[in-house]
Chains A and B, each alone.
Chain A
Amino acid sequence: MIKLFKVKEKQRELAESANGKPPGKKQSAGELRLHKDISELNLPKTCSISFPNGKDDLMNFEVTIRPDEGYYLSGTFVFSFQISPIYPHEAPKVKCKTKVYHPNIDLEGNVCLNILREDWKPVLNINTIIYGLYHLFTEPNHEDPLNHDAAAVLRDNPKMFESNVRRAMAGGYVGQTFFPRCI
């Protein structure tokens, strides 16, 4: 049973203490978990992170990857991360902001990485995703294509794929598509 007289009492109490409230907002459970993920980040030298909205907005950030081996050596690729308030129940939304010739990333920046969609689990974290993205550059795979043409070239003619990647990263056309320089 609710103590009704206490309900009345409390309303008075609240009115009295209204001006002693601490400033700032409440944090969602998702924000708190994200705070933990971020404060425990352990990134490889090839990856860096930045917070465009300053130190108090961790829900939106950018990750820059500079592969040190493979087809994409010396390119610079920027990903935007958007985190939901019910993270980690829901996976982060990740987009590639750099236009890239890649079998698993389309020209709109959609990324085909299993842990971002069908295989996301709350035990995974931001670090896992960044490693997953890094892995896409060291080992692009033609079996999960989002850019159909790039995947076919990688499968049938790796030499040509390599030269297409170099051309795209230097700023130029591959087929009908122009790629801005990202080296």
Chain B
Amino acid sequence: MAVSQPSRSRDLDKLLLRPGHLVGPNFEPGPELRDDIKEYVKVLVVGAGGLGCELLKDLALTGFKYLDVIDMDRIEVTNLNRQFLFRLEDVGKPKAEVAAKRVMERVNGVNITPHFCRIEDKPLDFYSDFSIIVLGLDSVEARSYINAVACGFLEYDSEDNPREETVKPMVDGGTEGFKGHARIIVPGTTPCFECTIWLFPPQVKFPLCTLAETPRTAAHCIEYAHLIKWNEVHGSRSFDPDNPEDMQWVYSEAVKRAELFGIPGVTYSFTQGVVKNIIPAIASTNAIISAACALETLKIVSGCSKTLSNYLTYNGVEGLHTKVTEFVRDKDCLVCGPGVLIELDKSVTLKKFIDQLEDHPRLLLSRVSVTHRGKNLYMQAPPVLEEMTRSNLDLPLFELMGGVAKDVIHVNGMAGKGDKKQSCLRKLRVVFRGVDGIADIDMAGGA
């Protein structure tokens, strides 16, 4: 008697094929949804470390068919306890490549494309190709970069509502020892990384004179060797934390320093920890955070459930505590905010544009400086830059912005009137009249 095999997507089908009252808006259950998710959704996983390994496994098992993973690191022995896709013989190989291969060996039908490079090495087009980006990173810099890229695709309509087809959602996971977070970032709807950058505690930095004069802890001795002694001995050759010889040198200098002051506790691994700012990673924390991220990814993509709103924290230090906080957007965020829409004629000079901002009811900006995609068009101060940018004032802004129909520009100056003036930095969406190109030309040709 033939027994029919249960479908591999049986559990997923329960979520995707049936309607329900806890589903997200616009949810359209059915086999087409399930198949479209497989066929059209491309997920990018950023990072193939502790979280990245978990994410790839979870997303592959969730039924996503096209995954990409990007990571610039190679596998180290110390990764093996928790980065479970790697084996001893993989040490020295690129994490992204090994992780992709291992998950494809184990999960039928998934296609994972590895990218062994820095996130900055990829062109913007690379990122625009994905439906959703999942982050398993360990630094503020990398998150800030990906956030800026994803928010950079966002466009607003004339009523300042995000245009849906330009929204690139992100799911961000992070862990530190027993603690972790999972959050969703839907640019234009939920706060972006930059709206809430204050959530990140500042890095602990010891005063240099403490290191030089009055070390009290093992970390002081290590930072002395790393920040002061290194330069004294090696001059301009900068310290490379990934070079074991450099690390060994810092370690042995730190030991000498610790002996001199009678301080215990300097070991090689602690030296690595202090210099590279490593926090002990816990495999279970990664597993829990990754599971939350993979589920949110499925929910955002399919609409099969309402999503996390919008920031989950997990703390396993004493027992278990978890909580969801709904953070709010910074409506004037320079990265994800709509900015103030300004329409201009092509002939308007930079000078005239600056004068207009002073009378603009939403801006009332005086003493304005202007920057556009890394080019400083006008600077009020210091005198050396004012002089270098002054000649731009008489040129048309359209020309200075490279002759495009519309683009974002940033200005700063003093906002408000009278004694209530306050320094501020604003994003503007400049649209030039009559350049919106093709339609005008077509009409001219047809007339």
Task: Give me the interface of A with B, judged by CB distance under 8 Å.
Answer: 1-4, 6-11, 13-14, 18, 20-33, 35-36, 38-43, 48-51, 54-56, 58, 84-86, 89-91, 104, 106-112, 114, 117-118, 120-122, 144-146, 148
The answer on a CB contact under 8 Å between B208 and A110 is yes
Chain A residues with Cβ under 8 A from B407's Cβ?
A: 22
A27 pairs with B374, CB closer than 8 A = yes
| Residue with the greatest number of chain B CB neighbours at <10 A, chosen from A43, A104, A108 | A108
Residues A108 and B202 in contact in the complex (CB < 8 Å), given A25-B374, A38-B382: no
Complex Cα distance, B425 from A106, in Å, reads 37
Q: In the complex the two chains form, is B373's CB within 8 Å of A85's CB?
A: no
Q: Known contacts A4-B36, A35-B371, A89-B140; is A41 also within 8 Å of B382 by CB?
A: yes
- Tell whether, in the assembled complex, residue A27 and residue B371 are in contact, meaning their CB atoms are under 8 Å apart: yes
CB-CB under 8 A from A121, the residues of chain B are 202
Is B404's CB under 8 angstroms from A49's CB? no
* Whole-angstrom CA separation of A114 from B210 in the bound complex: 11
A48 partner residues in chain B, CB cutoff 8 A:
382, 384
Q: How far is the CB of A28 from chain B (nearest CB, A)?
A: 6
Interface of A is mostly: loop
Chain B hits for A118, CB < 8 A: 205-207
- The residue of chain B having its C-beta at the shortest distance from the C-beta of A6 within the complex is B165
For residue B342, CB closer than 8 A to chain A, the reply is no
Q: Could you tell me if A27 and B232 are in contact, using CB atoms closer than 8 angstroms?
A: no
Give complex CA distance A120, B212 in Å. 19
**A148 vs B208: C-alpha distance in the bound complex, in angstroms?**
12
Q: How far is the CB of A5 from chain B (nearest CB, A)?
A: 9
Shortest CB–CB separation between residue A141 and chain B, in angstroms? 10
Chain B neighbourhood of A144, CB < 8 A? 207, 209
Q: Are B141 and A85 in contact (CB under 8 A)?
A: yes
With contacts A7-B41, A32-B410, A146-B212 known, what are 16 further pairs, Cβ within 8 A?
A: A2-B169, A4-B41, A22-B404, A23-B402, A25-B374, A26-B374, A35-B371, A40-B423, A55-B389, A90-B203, A91-B205, A106-B212, A120-B205, A122-B198, A144-B209, A146-B208
Establish whether residues A29 and B335, one from each chain, have CB atoms under 8 Å apart when the complex forms.
yes
Q: Are A114 and B194 in contact (CB-based, < 8 A)?
A: no
Interface size (B, Cβ < 8 Å)?
74
CB neighbours of B324 from chain A (8 A): none
The distance in angstroms between the C-alpha atoms of A24 and B376, with both chains bound, is: 12
The distance from the CB of A130 to the nearest CB of chain B, in whole angstroms, is: 11
**B118 CB, nearest partner CB in chain A, Å:** 13
Please tell me if the beta carbons of A39 and B41 are within 8 angstroms of each other in the complex. Answer: no
What's the minimum C-beta distance from B204 to chain A, rounded to whole angstroms? 8
- Contacts of B220-255 to chain A: CB distance below 8 A: 227-228, 231-232
Q: What are 26 residue pairs bridging A and B, where the CB atoms are less than 8 Å apart in the complex?
A: A1-B301, A3-B164, A4-B36, A4-B37, A14-B128, A20-B437, A24-B373, A25-B374, A27-B410, A28-B148, A29-B194, A35-B369, A38-B381, A38-B382, A39-B379, A39-B381, A48-B382, A55-B389, A86-B144, A108-B232, A112-B207, A118-B206, A118-B207, A144-B207, A145-B212, A148-B212
Cβ–Cβ contact A51 & B371, under 8 A: no
**Distance, CA A109 to CA B124, complexed state (A):** 39
Structural contact, A28 and B131, CB atoms closer than 8 A: no
